[in-house]
Amino acid sequence: MASSQHVLLSPAELAYLHASLSLTPPIRPDGRSPTQFRPLVAETGILPGTNGSARICFADGTEAIVGVKAEVERTRTRHDFPSLDESAEDDDDLDDNQNDVVKGDNDWVEMTVEIPGYRDDDAGTVFLSAMLSEALLADGEFTKRLWINQRFHWKLYLDILLISPPLSYPLPLLSLTTHLALLAARLPRLKSEGDEDPLFDDDWAAAPYLYPRPSEKGSKATAPAPAARPPVTLLVMAVGNNIIFDPSKEELAVADVALAVSVGESSSSTTTTTTSTTSSKPTAMDIDTEETKGHNLRLLSVRTIDPPSRLTPPGIPNASNSAYGANAGAKDTEKKKQQQEQARTAESEAVEGVWKAPRGGAKTLVMATMVQKVLEKGGVADEVLDALDGVDLN
Amino acid sequence: MASLKRSFESDPFAQNISSKVYVRSTKSGKVQKIVREVYLRQDIPCSSKLCNACLKIAPRDAANRPIPFVLSEKPAGTSVFTQGHYIVPDTNAFLSAMDLFEQSSAFYDVIVLQVVLEEVRARSLPLYNRLVSLTKSEDKRFYVFFNEFRLETYVTREENESVNDRNDRAVRKAIKWYNEHLSKASKKAPAVVMLSNDRDNLRKAKEDGIPAYSLANYVSQLKDGEQLLDMIPELEERDALIEKKPGQFLYPEHYTLSKINTGVKNGLLHQGIFNVSPYNYLEGSIRVPAFPKALLILGRENINRAVDGDLVVVEVLPKDQWKQPSTQVIEEEAVTMNENPTEEGSDLISEKERKVLQEEAKRTLAKTTEGHALPTAKVVGVIKRNWRQYVGHIDQSSVSSSAAQGRKQDSVFVIPMDKKIPKIRLRTRQVAELLGKRILVTIDAWDRTSRHPTGHFVRSLGELETKAAETEALLLEYDVQYRPFPKTVLDCLPKEGHDWKVPTSMDDPGWRDRQDLRDLLICSIDPIGCQDIDDALHARALPNGNFEVGVHIADVSHFVKPNNAMDTEASIRGTTVYLVDKRIDMLPMLLGTDLCSLKPYVERYAFSVIWEMNSNADIVGSRFTKSVIKSREAFSYEQAQLRIDDASQQDELTNSIRTLLELSKKLKQKRLDAGALSLSSPEIKVHMESETSDPIDVKTKEHLPTMSLVEEFMLLANTSVAAKIYEAFPQTAILRRHAAPPKTNFDELANQLRVKKGLDLSVESSRALADSLDLCVDPKEPFFNTLIRIMATRCMMSAEYFCSGTQSYPEFRHYGLASEIYTHFTSPIRRYADLVAHRQLAAAIEYEAVHPAVRSRGRLEAVCKNINVRHRNAQLAGRASIAYYVGQALRGKATEEDGFVMKIFSNGFVVLVPKFGIESLIRLRDLAEPEPAATYDAETYTLTTTGSRELKVELFQKVRVKVTDQKDETTGKRGVKMELVSTY
């Protein structure tokens, strides 16, 4: 689904919104602070038949359910000869030349996103699913969790369902729900050893979590946070130099730039992160891990999202509005031509209080600030992850 | 936002709902999380007649009467529970001592918990069936309490708790509830006692304050407990094994299940049924799909606790350990004699066994030609034990002198009747009583630390060599259902009993679509004294010069309707078993010998196959119909033969038999031309004294032309019916096939014939085989051809019933009969397969609607599987019975007879005596004292002895033997003993 649907705002309204969001500090229609999220309700384990599931409701009425199902699958044997190539490939930066160690494959995760009212091959749906799986698979760490032995692995099916109409761009909602579902997901305990056909413990209670937690002691009310966590994709937008998190549909309609920033947390500090953008020129940038007190955050991916504001109809300044007497009486065709040219220039020039769709790319400085705001100590991602820790995972 | 999860706090019914979550791994390797909701209720009665509270909530039948309670208000007491008690056994109590609960002297008022019943079913289906039949018997008062559905007794699995522990806890909780519940109902409530043989469970019960006893403890409280004590296996300790030092393990450990699965899937390990050679207890073989020939498994260590019939997994040994199959007879008894059962040897292989193996090794080394060595394998795991109850007797030599008198528990060896089963170690207090008796025992376990399996005593069948004990032993050994028909089965019989008649009015529903063939001259030809007459025949000339020939088969399916109790019983029995002096019927007597039996002079329902044939016995047309017939005469083969031969008899009936005979000869010729085999097995008949039914004489069966008359038409009927039902039900027709034997089966025999007689055996097709068998003649010895036919028969596969959907059409072929398609149709009184074929044919000719039982492929496959086994067992039981009676008939007599060497070993040879149809092993040590030295030439199949007796014995050689009877000390069977008198 496109991010731009159903913006039923007049140019005047858009202009008003844009103006109030450009203030310092910005004034959001629902009175939130720029970094504040909409309140949400979350629970896990709602689908007993799945390996893990979660449901999140946003206060605006959007609601999503995610179910995680795992199946044992035989790993296709690779026809490469590590013994021969090992020395040759040693120079490469690729660190996949050890064959005995745990290895993952992106095929092991299958993600389907379902948005009511949209076909599953709709460009928007596909894009959403690509963004979510990209965040999950970007660092290659996740699929290693699905490794059973040399010959078998878990195949994970992630079914992501938006069960309300898409009132706002559902990316953050779906991402958070997926995050919770993966946290709650458990895989049967392996009993067999080595490369035998896997045999599992029949006790579900003994099944370990996909994201193992540090030893569960003390109070059960707050589940201890796992050492590593699945990624979270946050939606950030900028209006002028103001950076606004978790935009509502209306806010997104006037965004100058919108970014989907995926952040992961891992116990081990790996320095390489991949970054990609949807713009035709993929720019890879290396961003070092931010050392934070609570979370060891890593940037996994950044994608710019085409903000719906680009497709909004522009307002017409009084100067070029015939209803206000401009060029009234002009009759001959030559004059008309001139007027059209004038109107074109008028459109391109910003007129105070008149809505004009943003043009051009995002400013790199703004983008950098957005990313930084996400990652910084005590930043939004930190806050979000802290908040999610409060969800009972049992 | 309201939570979507079921909230247990707010829901008023929440306590009634629970859920079970577990992981299920399927065979195909799928792993699923399973969530089951459990709805708990409070209206499951305790079923004690003492309890009024439960009576109110007890389920009611259609007439609104409560279903009567099971447990008595005055249950029996024990020395501890004088006020009376109910028994709640746990799973392993049933698994290890089911026989105990079937006793009539004790074990009344038993509560069988659902969790226990389910566990028993998962562990052992036969035991489960026995338990279910116990719960159905009215006098034993066994009550199944559904504890898993009763709110108060339901337990959820705790974290890190194994399923077993959880189930044990459920048992304890149920007992606790019962005790509390009953104490409310009555002041002098009976105690509810747990019986278990699991030490851990007993300990936990004690901690919970639940009355609990081990089986042995409990039985000793009973009045006549002493005798029951032997039926109890030893207390189980789960971790007992680990405490033992690894050095004490005699056998290698079995692989883990996952390792086995991986291996089997990858083709590194092979799964199959383990078979022990009947001549050498240390040699087993296993046929696996991956190899054309069976793999050999040699020696105790490689056999690794597998018992004949177990489903095992084997690993092929490296090539340097490949061996030739043993040419020696090794009997367990002879080798392991004088072993002490109380002391476990520290060596796996005893001195003597080692010696035997050494000799073996020498022999193979001496002339090991690469080509002769066969791949060997070792057992690495047992998938499924096929242990049953075994008949045997106590080994006299294993009994210590003190044990024979005292009543203290003692270990002895039981030697099973089946030589393929190893000795079983048994602990018993009644050695003195059990000596010299046929006893029934079961195997409980076979630990790595124990050389022999351990078992426990079930019951005594009686003195050795008494007819009753031996017959029962035989029936038990071959798993023949010999108990009388239960009431539910007898209830299915027609109410009129013996007075039942074919209705006189043609309007009766019984006459619907039936053809009236009462005016035909039908007669039956059977062995003397046959009561269950399945078939009758007629033939008459038609105006066009052709003949009408009819085969009329008893219409059993009219009386036995699908899926009633009688049908189920018959499908379990599968076949009637004929012993020398006894017949174990598949159907109740009333049907078998009267209502269905096509007796002469009375009207009977029949299922008729009628052909029109020309004088060349070519079939012009055929039809099938249900009919009513009236047999004119029931001939014996001999009578019929006399009548045919007597030229003065020119009546219509005799002439029609002559017509039949003529046609049958042509049919037979056609069949032989098509490549049907004429096979042979030694058939003899035991003559009994009519009064005492003691055997007095043994004779070889004579073959009369009238026998093949009946046989030919039965074959023809079967083939015609097979084609018809296959046409109607291509997927579900019940057929019979005889697979072509693999060529390798004949390798040995062909080689023997080539070496010894210079004859060639070609086995490309049944036709080629039939022809080459015809050429296998020795002009000096008329019996030689029969001998070869007997041996060839043993190389064949056995014929089997199957469901047409499971095989492709070319596989339907009956090799022996050279028929493309075949079934059994002609003996529905004594074979269940025929009954199914009758139903299918009736549906095929649209006489009746197709019953689902006849159409369901899964069900038919199960039926086929069962009747194949039953059929085989019935044959074996019949043969064993003959062997027993031959032994009895020869008792005290010694005769000299001619025999032939059938099989030759390096230390003995097997001789077949055609006159008695018996074969027996003559060992070197039987030839002379001291045992003569011998050299065996495997290339020429010649055994040359030197020393105390000088002989040269060759394969196929005719020898003179002295036949006497002898009680075989090993098996306790009276059998035939042969001594070599001279060679020809």
Structure confidence at residue A292 (pLDDT): 42
Q: Which residues pair with A40 in a beta bridge?
A: A58
Percent of chain B at pLDDT above 70? 88
Pick the range with the lowest mean pLDDT from B763-777, B812-826, B855-869: B763-777
pLDDT band at A192 (very low <50, low <70, confident <90, very high): confident
* Residue B966 or residue B55, greater confidence: B55
CB contact under 8 A, B159 and A205: yes
CATH number at residue B171: 3.40.50.1010
DSSP A362: -
The reply to whether B666 and B686 lie within a common domain is yes
Residue A338 has pLDDT above 70, yes or no: no
pLDDT band at B236 (very low <50, low <70, confident <90, very high): low
Task: For residue A200, give the chain B residue with the closest CA.
Answer: B25
Give long-range contacts, CB 8 A cutoff, 24+ apart: A124-129: A124/A1, A124/A2, A124/A3, A125/A1, A128/A1, A128/A170, A128/A171, A128/A174, A129/A160
Structure confidence at residue B697 (pLDDT): 66
Rounded CA separation B766/A205 (Å): 62
Chain B residues close to A195, C-beta within 8 Å: 262
Assigned domain for B46 exists: no
pLDDT band at B357 (very low <50, low <70, confident <90, very high): low
Q: Does A192 touch chain B (CB under 8 A)?
A: yes
Pick the range with the lowest mean pLDDT from B113-127, B256-270, B527-541, B732-746: B256-270
Pick the range with the lowest mean pLDDT from A105-114, A176-185, B123-132: B123-132
Chain A residues close to B158, C-beta within 8 Å: 205
Domain boundary among B442, B459, B476: B459
The reply to whether B264 and B306 lie within a common domain is yes
Q: Whole-number mean pLDDT of chain A?
A: 77
Chain B residues close to A196, C-beta within 8 Å: 256, 258-259, 261-262
CB contact under 8 A, A196 and B262: yes
The reply to whether B223 and B258 lie within a common domain is no
The reply to whether B615 and B698 lie within a common domain is yes
Structure confidence at residue B795 (pLDDT): 83
**Gap from B172 CA to chain A (nearest CA, Å):** 21
What are the residue ranges of helices labelled H in B192-330?
199-208, 215-221, 225-229, 240-243, 257-266, 299-303
CB contact under 8 A, A195 and B256: no
**Gap from B22 CA to chain A (nearest CA, Å):** 5
Q: Does A188 touch chain B (CB under 8 A)?
A: yes
* Residue B46 or residue B224, greater confidence: B46
The reply to whether B298 and B422 lie within a common domain is no
Structure confidence at residue A331 (pLDDT): 55
Chain B residues close to A198, C-beta within 8 Å: 29, 31, 258
Contact B523, B657 (CB under 8 A): yes
- What average pLDDT score do residues B672-698 get? 69
**Gap from A66 CA to chain B (nearest CA, Å):** 13
Structure confidence at residue B335 (pLDDT): 60
Rounded CA separation B104/B101 (Å): 8
Chain B residues close to A57, C-beta within 8 Å: 1
Task: For residue B256, give the chain A residue with the closest CA.
Answer: A192
Assigned domain for B554 exists: yes
Instruction: Give residue A104's Cα distance to chain centre.
Output: 22
Contact B858, B865 (CB under 8 A): no
How many residue pairs bridge chain A and chain B with CB atoms within 8 Å of each other? Answer: 81
CB contact under 8 A, B31 and A188: yes
The reply to whether B364 and B513 lie within a common domain is no
Q: For residue B29, how many other CB atoms are within 10 A of its CB?
A: 16
Structure confidence at residue B694 (pLDDT): 62
If one counts the domains in chain B, the total is 5
CATH number at residue B396: 2.40.50.700
CATH number at residue B378: 2.40.50.690
Highest mean pLDDT out of A192-201, B340-349, B694-703, B788-797 = B788-797
Structure confidence at residue B399 (pLDDT): 76
- What average pLDDT score do residues B929-948 get? 82
**Gap from B11 CA to chain A (nearest CA, Å):** 16
- What average pLDDT score do residues B624-648 get? 91
Domains and CATH numbers, chain A: 11-80+97-214+223-312+355-389 (3.30.230.70)
Chain A residues close to B1, C-beta within 8 Å: 41, 57, 63
Q: Measured between CB atoms, which of A43, A200, A207 is closest to B3?
A: A43
**Gap from A50 CA to chain B (nearest CA, Å):** 7
CB contact under 8 A, A196 and B30: no
The reply to whether B573 and B718 lie within a common domain is yes
Residue B371 has pLDDT above 60, yes or no: no
Q: Would you mind telling me the total number of residues written for chain A in this entry?
A: 394
Task: For residue B158, give the chain A residue with the closest CA.
Answer: A205
Q: Which amino acid is at B219?
A: V
Assigned domain for B32 exists: no
- What average pLDDT score do residues A47-60 get? 90
The reply to whether B619 and B567 lie within a common domain is yes
| Per-residue model confidence as pLDDT tens digits over A356-388 | 888 777 788 888 888 888 888 777 888 888 888
Contact A216, A224 (CB under 8 A): yes
Rounded CA separation B651/B658 (Å): 11
Structure confidence at residue A286 (pLDDT): 42
* Residue B379 or residue B98, greater confidence: B379
**Gap from A177 CA to chain B (nearest CA, Å):** 15
CATH number at residue B972: 2.40.50.140
Q: Does A77 touch chain B (CB under 8 A)?
A: no
Q: Does A198 touch chain B (CB under 8 A)?
A: yes
Best mutation target among A190, A191, A204 (most B Cβ atoms within 10 Å) is A204
Structure confidence at residue A28 (pLDDT): 92
CB contact under 8 A, A206 and B4: no
Q: Which amino acid is at A391?
A: V
| Per-residue model confidence as pLDDT tens digits over B769-800 | 888 888 888 888 888 888 888 888 888 888 89
Domain boundary among B441, B459, B477: B459
Q: Does A200 touch chain B (CB under 8 A)?
A: yes
Q: Does B25 touch chain A (CB under 8 A)?
A: yes
Residue B618 has pLDDT above 80, yes or no: yes
CB contact under 8 A, A205 and B5: no
Task: For residue B160, give the chain A residue with the closest CA.
Answer: A206
The reply to whether B915 and B833 lie within a common domain is no
Structure confidence at residue B370 (pLDDT): 46
Chain A residues close to B156, C-beta within 8 Å: none
Contact B761, B753 (CB under 8 A): yes
Structure confidence at residue B906 (pLDDT): 81
Domain boundary among B351, B384, B417: B384
Tokens in use for B260? 């086995």
Could you list the residue range(s) of the whole structural domain that residue B652 is in? 487-731+822-873
- What average pLDDT score do residues B68-82 get? 84
Chain B residues close to A68, C-beta within 8 Å: none
Assigned domain for B95 exists: yes
Residue B620 has pLDDT above 50, yes or no: yes
The reply to whether B260 and B227 lie within a common domain is no
Assigned domain for B481 exists: no
Q: Measured between CB atoms, which of A71, A188, A199 is closest to B258?
A: A199
CB contact under 8 A, A55 and B4: yes
**Gap from B123 CA to chain A (nearest CA, Å):** 17
The reply to whether B709 and B650 lie within a common domain is yes
pLDDT band at B406 (very low <50, low <70, confident <90, very high): low
- Would you tell me which residues 516-555 of chain B have a C-beta closer than 8 angstroms to some C-beta of chain A? none
Residue B496 has pLDDT above 80, yes or no: yes
Q: Does A157 touch chain B (CB under 8 A)?
A: no
Structure confidence at residue B628 (pLDDT): 93
Q: Which amino acid is at B591?
A: L
Structure confidence at residue B322 (pLDDT): 78
**Gap from B93 CA to chain A (nearest CA, Å):** 24
* Residue B430 or residue B724, greater confidence: B724
Structure confidence at residue B115 (pLDDT): 92
DSSP A25: S
Contact B165, B201 (CB under 8 A): no
Q: Does A368 touch chain B (CB under 8 A)?
A: no
CB contact under 8 A, B21 and A206: no
Q: Does A163 touch chain B (CB under 8 A)?
A: no
pLDDT band at B14 (very low <50, low <70, confident <90, very high): low
The reply to whether B259 and B297 lie within a common domain is yes
| Per-residue model confidence as pLDDT tens digits over B438-493 | 888 888 888 888 888 888 888 888 888 788 888 888 888 888 888 888 777 888 88
Q: Measured between CB atoms, which of B5, B33, B258 is closest to A204?
A: B33
- What average pLDDT score do residues A189-214 get? 82
> Is B820 exposed, middle or buried, given 0-12, 13-18 or 19+ CB atoms closer than 10 A?
middle
pLDDT band at A83 (very low <50, low <70, confident <90, very high): very low
Assigned domain for B767 exists: no
Assigned domain for B817 exists: no
Assigned domain for B662 exists: yes
**Gap from B21 CA to chain A (nearest CA, Å):** 6
The C-alpha angle with vertex B540 and arms to B534 and B545, in degrees rounded to 5, equals: 140
CB contact under 8 A, A191 and B258: yes
* Residue A66 or residue B766, greater confidence: A66
**Gap from B257 CA to chain A (nearest CA, Å):** 8
Task: For residue A48, give the chain B residue with the closest CA.
Answer: B35
Longest dimension (CA), chain B: 106
Alpha-carbon separation of residue B431 from B98, B222, B389, B971 (angstroms): 22, 21, 19, 18
